[in-house]
Structure 1
Amino acid sequence: MKTGFVSSVCVASFSIALGACAGTPAAFEPKAVSADPAHEGYLSRIDLQLLADAVPPPPAAGSHIEAADRALSATYRALENTDRWLMATSHAEVRSPFALQHFDCSLGVRFDPGQNAAPATARLMQRLFEDSEAASTIAKLRAHRARPVGDDPSREACQRVSDSGRASASYPSGSATVAAAYGEAMAAIAPEHAAAARETGHQIALSRVVCAMHYPLDATTGEALGKAVFERAAATPQFQTDLALARLEYASLKASGKTSPACAAERLALSQKP
């Protein structure tokens, strides 16, 4: 059922409940890539290249797989301007520390970036963001697949998209890669909520499909890459040090008893299907 919410903005009543909108999302721009970009993640350039090389190529143009992927993408137009659409607008923000709020309900705490409540967790997520973005960007350089909003200029996105953003590569989804890595990290931080944390990561990835920024296969491939990034990052001593500190922060947040008022709105939004 359509709700009448306006896309690309955090409508006041919902954003207050959701608690995760960091304002109107910035216009989507493709990221610049250099031959040797500055990198502050857990993984080496060699690690990132190996991860990217393992990503399968996108579906061939005109293939049955591509046709099925496009058809599935089209079904998500039913969610335009619904609560799930507005949640997807919020999920467009995957940078740390703002993205921590997406996991408030699945972990039963309240991450508040305005209060700098979890600096070690934010640092861990930022390093995973760097690794995930780099791996997905390297993979995108091998083959260009257009985005849904690029293939169909009439397709509405739930964030502002520049012309260069519409024309940028879609496969694999960088945001889905980040989201899956985040989900795995939150599962490691709060093992008792592992399934819920991973589901939140999946829903953030799915939001890119809802937003028409990626085809479904772009997102699922990105999620697989994100899990691989996490697995390799988790084997590093630096990650294990950061994880221990993040677990202490989580225990402190849990002991405080603070939770997010967004959870009822989140459950409602997630109940909406195409």
Structure 2
Amino acid sequence: MSQTHLGYKDRVNLGSYYTPPKFVKLAWKLIEPYIDSQTTIIDTACGYGDFLKNRGQLNTIGCDIDEDAIVIAKKNTDKVQFFQTNSLHNVSRGKFGIPQQSTKLIVVGNPPYNDKTSLIRHKIKNVDFDVDVDIKSRDLGISFLRSYNKLEADFICVLHPLSYLIKQTNFKHLKEFTAHYKLIDGILISSGEFPESATHTPFPIIIALYQRDTLGMEYSDIRSFAFRTVGGNGFCLSDFEYITNYITKYPSKQHQVIPDNSLFFWTMRDINALKRNRTFVQNYSSNT
């Protein structure tokens, strides 16, 4: 159900976007084999409660910082314990009444992601609520993944940008999470499938299933992982050649001798860099 009570600015800041039912169904298909009568299901950013299904589990918990969303969620589903709370502050099982042991905990949902350093809609992005220091990140989505580790969830099935995993810099930011979880399944979808984001440039999203594991995972595991697509195709990073193996992607920061009366041009730049910099400059710098 679309988050109709929120304006555009609030949807961006809270990362509150409607998840199409077909993706909710896919997420549940991934976790159903692991649900038993002693399982607790929790969605810590539940919105209107679309992910809160009853499949014979012991407890179902829905949480959201948005009071209006919780009111609507209570009308949409029953047999759910709801908390109107900031799920990123004072994170613990006790906060939600979950026993520390003896209960299998599965997290499911589509948590917010909101990278404040991105130039896309950056002028209206603002996170003005408390986040625990040990899970705080420039991106809400990464903070939520870190929070699941604090809850010591046994399984996690959530939607998040694929870039969290395949971009090595982002993967390093998840070290507290990746030290305790391994990816066991992943289905790739497009952000263009989400009605509220269909007008923006689409990017890949993964419906990711993680299992708690003492060995965790390394970036090499992601490179060799066989991702699936909704169309039934496979995708593996190690199957591709990368341009960085052949050319220098970023300018050297070391001083180089440059002839007089030269123009400098750097061709390998991402979208953010293109918006920040001019194409031609008169003086050499680390960006040319």
Question: Scaled by the length of structure 1, what TM-score is found?
Answer: 0.27
Structure showing greater Rg: 2
Question: Scaled by the length of structure 2, what TM-score is found?
Answer: 0.26
Q: Which has the higher helix share?
A: 1
